[in-house]
Amino acid sequence: MSAPLLDIRDLSIEAHKDGERLGIVERVSFSVATGEILGLVGESGSGKTVTCRALMRLLPTRSLRISGGKIEFAGRNLVTASEAEMRHIRGARIGMIFQNPASHLDPVMRIGRQIGESLVLHLQMSPREAKAQTIELLRQVGIPDPQRRADDFPHQFSGGMRQRAMIALALACSPELLIADEPTTALDVTVQAQILRLLVELRDKRGLSIILITHDLGVVAQTCDSVAVMYAGRICEKGPKRDVLAEPLHPYTSRLIACQPSASAEAGLLPSIPGQPPSPSAWPSGCRFHPRCERAIGLCRSSAPELVTVRSNHVAACHVTAPARLADEAA
Amino acid sequence: MKAGSISLAMPVRLPVPLILGLCIIGGAVILALFAPFIAPYDPILQDTTNTLKPPSRAHPFGTDNFGRDVFSRVIWGTRVDLQMGLIGVLFPFIIGNTIGAISGYVGGIVDTIFMRIVDIVLAFPFLVLMLAIIAILGPGIGSFYIAMALVGWVSYARLIRAQTLVLKHSDFVTAARSLGFSHGRIMFRHIVPNALVASIVFSMSDVVLVILSGAAVSYLGLGVQPPTAEWGIMIAEGQNFITTAWWITTFPGLAIVALAFGFSMMADGLGELLGVRE
Amino acid sequence: MTALLEVAGLEVAFAAGGFTWPGQAARQVKAVNGVSFALNAGETLGLVGESGCGKTTLARAILALTEKSAGEVLFEGERVDRTSLMRLRRNAAMIFQDPFNALNPRMRVGDILAEVLRVHRKVPPDRIAARVEELLVLVGLSGEHARRKPATLSGGQCQRVGIARALAVEPKLIVADECVSALDVSIQAQIINLLIDIRSRMKLAMIFIAHDLAVVRRLCDRVCVMYLGRIVEEGATADVFSAPKHPYTQALIRAIPEIDPAGSLPRNMLPGEPPSPLDLPPGCAFHPRCPQAMDICRSGDAPVLRPAGEQRAACLLYGGVRH
Ligand SMILES: Nc1ncnc2c1ncn2[C@@H]1O[C@H](COP(=O)(O)OP(=O)(O)OP(=O)(O)O)[C@@H](O)[C@H]1O
Ligand SMILES: Nc1ncnc2c1ncn2[C@@H]1O[C@H](COP(=O)(O)OP(=O)(O)OP(=O)(O)O)[C@@H](O)[C@H]1O
Ligand SMILES: [Mg+2]
Ligand SMILES: [Mg+2]
């Protein structure tokens, strides 16, 4: 296989807080091949957004910084790339759909102009072409009557429409890699399916690679090729979608799958993972999931498990389940 | 606690420009407050035997054409110029922010009227309008403050109005409305504290502008009146001797630059600290 | 017994963007177009529908946060207007979608809650601090969080503060607009469970807007399905989910993603472009995309809600049709 489009190795990110250094993301590695869709799932606060912002070198420099590792994109290490170089990559070669569109759309600029501007800037389109292209993009993401709605301000759009405008903005310059940070949270299931279909189609036609951050494992099942699961700043499991969803190894992944509400169930309480997600200022020792894990053993408290390969490409970091599975496979 | 565990890192990491700005302005404030004790001579005392002396040990910045000590005059000038900058910003700040916030929050006809007024004020060149107002009121520092208030508020009004318009649609303001809070409470507890940040940062760079226009107005003989020690006047009076006695104009000029630099560093630093700019 | 909330023929129109010639009538987006329903005390109504169909606008119009252009809202049998607005404000509260934007970033969590208590005189001044702590504990936080600013809390914690603020008014009605869509499944489950618990303890009525139909199914007694500003189906949750009647509802329910490791995207059930709310098509607004559209669907007035099975649907497939 040729080199992957994006290869992240041992990426660590630190926060400065009150003169202290907190490890927000620790030694995260994954890669995305051309035309691959990678699902990135995990608890709130596990560092998914921070990892992806680091990729774009868009961390708030005063509070967060990359403290180690490398990010190789199309043969270039983005960790050391200059700001000028990044400006050419951002938007044009890597597109990002931000998690909260409300704060990434300019409230006082018309939607159409915001998209058109980036087309003029990166693709040197004439304003006329840009306008036509903008309307086509808005149509693709399912905004009805795009001609006229392009003249609206963000606050005149519904929540879901703003999110779709954000998607149009990220796709505007036909990037090679798309980072979609929870792109469909504000969309109903039919529009969500339409957007996902659009992304998959772009992948099939143009070989677009996608990192899809989501909380919805149903979406992962429908669209992704592989999955990486993050917990408390570390990757705890990754592998091909089928393997991870059908035979999850890490207890956190299993619990996550069990928590997914199903539409066929009756009324009543929803299953959830007991306990609170840990915070970077007080990471648990050893395996960071151990305080909430019902299969934890003494070893989990004292030492952090390494990622172990249990089958080709399927890796997990657990002291209990990974060795058990390895033994099974050997037998 | 062990002595060794005391970390040198400050609890909040202050941006470098802010620290620099604070040092410069702090220094200026100390000079202004303690001018009588720091300045070696009386700033308006004339000594005709000692005119136009170049910098020396006795007169570090030299003397002017009336034999006054330039060093003492620069120190006393800090008082006047600092006061001019602060008062000259205070009134526009209050007037502009009040009008802008009301205009943006109420909207409709009120907004239209206020914004037309702003447009009219902005249609005139800044200094020309100021000089016209001072000319009508008669020269003097009081006229300068009034003119500054009448002209300077528009920038604050526009800035805070834009912020208010955006905040008005934000969820937390909608939440406040849905909880039945009064308009006054929504405006002063929820919108203004969030909108004011940009204005505060702007006011820091505005101080620079005010000091420079104050100096300019005094230079033209319309602001602070001689023989008061004020940097603008000193430069104006010294310009006849610029080729022969460079020190009379250079040191007050440097003082203006230093204070302006301090305030603009402060503006940058505050902006960074309060998250106006990333 | 009168219903807690009654909405009759509610319409909301916004002036649309874009250029209009002088003399030409200003274009309008009919975001809500003649919606009527009733909600009883203690009942939870789910509101679902396509993105942009007017759910948020409806919710805001009910709470008098957006000007309505026609129709009326009755709260406990009394019309909500300028004079009786305060009554609604004291008895209804809203929970927002974006947990971070819904809290004033410059206020501490404790002050945010105390302000509500003070304005509504819920407790004597010396009891405020204690009550704030009680509210925080009720939503699964602790008194320690009162001193924090929203920016130092996680999304789930902010959402809990938002819920605590809504509960501080001791409302009879809570309107929750997509209040869990920004949260991950585990925290989402905790918040939903919290709502289920509080609802039964305080006998709260709730209007719950959501895209996650699985959550709606768990939480709601009744559902209204909206399409382009109108309610197209309404009925008990179990009925609507097990036997959807309106073709739009059917498409919606079939599109729910399930975790099937071999899953793939469902094929497009709704071909064609959604019609523009700026000029609605004649007849049933869904006809351009409806697989079962008939000629009569394409003209005349929009169909009204009629009994269809256990529930009611606004579709000509279910009676009211003369051949
Ligand atoms: N600017 C910052 N300074 C300090 N800490 C930060 C900053 N931004 C994020 N963090 C911390 O980094 C951690 C990871 O945050 P991140 O936003 O990446 O989570 P996430 O996985 O995207 O969660 P979610 O699913 O809720 O979006 C959190 O604990 C958060 O508090
Ligand atoms: N302030 C406004 N001015 C003009 N049009 C608006 C305004 N608010 C909403 N709209 C329009 O009204 C329609 C309905 O919007 P609304 O926010 O109610 O949708 P929604 O059902 O909540 O959608 P979503 O699920 O995406 O949040 C949309 O077409 C939207 O563009
Ligand atoms: Mg995130
Ligand atoms: Mg909405």
What's the pLDDT tens digit per position in B143-179? 989 999 999 899 999 999 999 988 988 889 999 999 9
- Name the pLDDT band for A228 (thresholds 50, 70, 90): very high
**Which residues of chain A are within 8 Å of residue B161 when distances are taken between CB atoms?**
none
Q: Which of A191, A197, A218 sits opposite C259 (nearest CB)?
A: A218
- Name the pLDDT band for B8 (thresholds 50, 70, 90): very low
Rounded mean pLDDT, B92-118: 92
Q: Check B178 against C92: CB less than 8 A apart.
A: yes
- What is the per-residue pLDDT for C322? 43
Rounded mean pLDDT, A276-304: 88
Looking up tokens 């928590």 gives A259
Q: Strand pairing of C222-227 and A209-213?
A: unpaired
Question: Percentage of chain B surpassing pLDDT 90?
Answer: 23
Question: Percentage of chain C surpassing pLDDT 90?
Answer: 38
Contacting partners of chain B (3+ CB pairs under 8 A)? A, C
Give how far B215 is from chain C: nearest CA, Å. 38
Contacts of A22 by beta carbon, 8 Å cutoff, 6+ apart: A14, A15, A16, A280, A281
Mean pLDDT of chain A: 88
- For residue A124, the Cα-to-chain-centroid distance in whole angstroms is 29
Burial C61-70 (b: 16+ CB within 10 A, else e): bbbbbbebee
Relative to the CA of C16, which ligand 2 atom is closest? 4
Q: Check A107 against B272: CB less than 8 A apart.
A: no
Relative to the CA of C154, which ligand 1 atom is closest? 31
Per-residue pLDDT tens digits for A257-282: 988 887 776 767 888 888 878 888 88
H-helix or E-strand spanning residue B131: helix B126-137
Domain ranges of chain C: 244-323
Ligand 2 pocket residue status of C52, Cβ below 6 Å: yes
Q: Check A191 against C278: CB less than 8 A apart.
A: no
Q: Check B171 against C101: CB less than 8 A apart.
A: yes
Phi and psi torsions of B125, nearest 5° = -65, 140
Q: Which of B171, B179, B189 sits opposite C98 (nearest CB)?
A: B171
Tell whether B8 is covered by a domain. no
Q: Check B179 against C116: CB less than 8 A apart.
A: yes
Task: Give me ligand 4 centre to Cα C52, in Å.
Answer: 7
Domain with B166 in it = 16-44+59-274
pLDDT higher than threshold 50 for residue A327: yes
Structure tokens at A262: 């199903």
**Which residues of chain A are within 8 Å of residue C217 when distances are taken between CB atoms?**
261, 263, 265-267
Tell me whether residue B3 is exposed, middle or buried, using C-beta atoms within 10 angstroms of its C-beta: 0 to 12, 13 to 18, 19 or more.
Answer: exposed
Rounded mean pLDDT, A174-189: 90
Distance in angstroms (rounded) separating the CA atoms of residues C128 and C4: 29
Rounded mean pLDDT, C192-215: 89
Distance in angstroms (rounded) separating the CA atoms of residues B84 and A177: 56
Looking up tokens 């006061």 gives B83
Structure tokens at A197: 């279909």
Tell whether B69 is covered by a domain. yes
Tell whether B222 is covered by a domain. yes
Q: Report residues whose beta carbon is within 6 angstroms of any ligand 1 atom.
A: A 15, 24, 42, 44-50, 60, 63-64, 99, 279-280; C 155, 184
Rounded mean pLDDT, A114-124: 88
Q: Strand pairing of C222-227 and C44-49?
A: parallel
Rounded mean pLDDT, A129-149: 90
The answer to whether the beta carbons of residues C219 and C46 sit under 8 Å apart is yes
- Name the pLDDT band for C17 (thresholds 50, 70, 90): low
- Name the pLDDT band for C145 (thresholds 50, 70, 90): confident
- What is the per-residue pLDDT for B175? 92
Q: Strand pairing of A308-311 and A314-316?
A: antiparallel
Instruction: Tell me, yes or no, if C104 comes closer than 8 A to chain B by beta carbon.
Output: yes
Tell whether B82 is covered by a domain. yes
Q: How many CB pairs under 8 A join A and C?
A: 205
- Name the pLDDT band for A18 (thresholds 50, 70, 90): low
Q: By C-alpha distance, which of B99, B30, B11 is closest to B259? A: B30
Looking at ligand 2, which residue's alpha carbon is closest to its atom 10?
A156
Give the ligand whose atoms come closest to the C-alpha of residue C154.
1
Distance in angstroms (rounded) separating the CA atoms of residues C245 and C178: 24
Mutation choice for A interface testing from C186, C269, C289 by most A CBs within 10 A: C186
For residue A184, count other CB atoms closer than 10 A to its CB.
28
DSSP state, residue A239: E
- What is the per-residue pLDDT for A202? 92
Rounded mean pLDDT, C173-197: 87
Give how far B267 is from chain C: nearest CA, Å. 20
Distance in angstroms (rounded) separating the CA atoms of residues A288 and A319: 12
Least confident window among A26-30, B49-53, C145-149: B49-53
Structure tokens at B179: 């909880």
Number of domains in chain B: 1
Mean pLDDT of chain B: 84
Instruction: Tell me, yes or no, if B13 comes closer than 8 A to chain A by beta carbon.
Output: yes
Phi and psi torsions of B11, nearest 5° = -60, -45
pLDDT higher than threshold 60 for residue B3: no
Q: Which of B170, B177, B193 sits opposite C65 (nearest CB)?
A: B177
Looking up tokens 């952090």 gives A304
Per-residue pLDDT tens digits for B208-224: 788 878 878 887 888 88
- Name the pLDDT band for A64 (thresholds 50, 70, 90): confident
Ligand 2 pocket residue status of C54, Cβ below 6 Å: yes
Distance in angstroms (rounded) separating the CA atoms of residues C212 and A259: 14
Q: Which of A147, A160, A267 sits opposite C52 (nearest CB)?
A: A160
Q: What is the CATH number of the domain that holds B158?
A: 1.10.3720.10
Q: Strand pairing of A234-240 and A314-316?
A: antiparallel
- Name the pLDDT band for C22 (thresholds 50, 70, 90): low
Distance in angstroms (rounded) separating the CA atoms of residues A19 and A219: 40
pLDDT higher than threshold 50 for residue B138: yes
- Name the pLDDT band for B276 (thresholds 50, 70, 90): low
Q: Check C65 against B174: CB less than 8 A apart.
A: yes
List the beta strands (DSSP E) in A182-262.
209-213, 226-231, 234-240
- What is the per-residue pLDDT for C272? 75
Give the ligand whose atoms come closest to the C-alpha of residue A282.
1
Distance in angstroms (rounded) separating the CA atoms of residues B178 and A82: 48
What is the interface pTM, i.e. ipTM, of the complex?
Answer: 0.86
The residue ranking higher by pLDDT, C215 or C267, is C215
Task: Give me ligand 4 centre to Cα C200, in Å.
Answer: 26
3-state per-residue secondary structure call for chain C? CCCCEEEEEEEEEEECCCCCCCCCCCCEEEEEEEEEEEECCCCEEEEEECCCCCHHHHHHHHCCCCCCCEEEEEECCEECCCCCHHHHHHHEEEECCCCCCCCCCCCCHHHHHHHHHHHCCCCCHHHHHHHHHHHHHHCCCCHHHHHCCHHHCCHHHHHHHHHHHHHHCCCCEEEEECCCCCCCHHHHHHHHHHHHHHHHHHCCEEEEECCCHHHHHHHCCEEEEEECCEEEEEEEHHHHHHCCCCHHHHHHHHCCCCCCCCCCCCCCCCCCCCCCCCCCCCCCCCHHHCCCCCHHHHCCCCCCCEEECCEEECCCCCCCCCC
Which residue from A143, A145, A157, A192 has its CB within 8 A of the most atoms of ligand 2, so it is best to mutate?
A: A157
Give how far C211 is from chain A: nearest CA, Å. 5
The answer to whether the beta carbons of residues C32 and C209 sit under 8 Å apart is no
- What is the per-residue pLDDT for C18? 57
Q: How far is CA B93 from CA B29, B88, B103, B203, in A?
A: 21, 9, 15, 7
Q: By C-alpha distance, which of B94, B81, B79 is closest to B35? A: B79
Q: How many CB pairs under 8 A join A and B?
A: 20
Which residue from C97, C184, C186, C187 has its CB within 8 A of the most atoms of ligand 1, so it is best to mutate?
A: C184
- What is the per-residue pLDDT for A135? 93
Tell whether B211 is covered by a domain. yes
Give how far B182 is from chain A: nearest CA, Å. 23
A→B contacts (Cβ < 8 Å), by residue, are 16, 18-19, 60-62, 107-108, 155
Tell whether B50 is covered by a domain. no
* Region of residue B107 (phi > 0: left; psi between -120 and 50: alpha; otherwise: beta): left
Instruction: Tell me, yes or no, if C135 comes closer than 8 A to chain B by beta carbon.
Output: no
Give the ligand whose atoms come closest to the C-alpha of residue C53.
2
Tell whether B51 is covered by a domain. no
Least confident window among A300-309, A317-326, B56-65: B56-65
What are the residues whose beta carbon lies below 5 Å from ligand 4 (ion)? A 158-159; C 56
pLDDT higher than threshold 70 for residue B14: yes
Tell whether B10 is covered by a domain. no
Ligand 2 pocket residue status of A145, Cβ below 6 Å: no
Q: How far is CA B144 from CA B131, B140, B209, B219, C154, in A?
A: 9, 6, 13, 13, 51
Q: Which of C14, C50, C260 sits opposite A191 (nearest CB)?
A: C50
Q: By C-alpha distance, which of A325, A321, A237, A276 is closest to A45? A: A276
**Which residues of chain A are within 8 Å of residue C236 when distances are taken between CB atoms?**
none
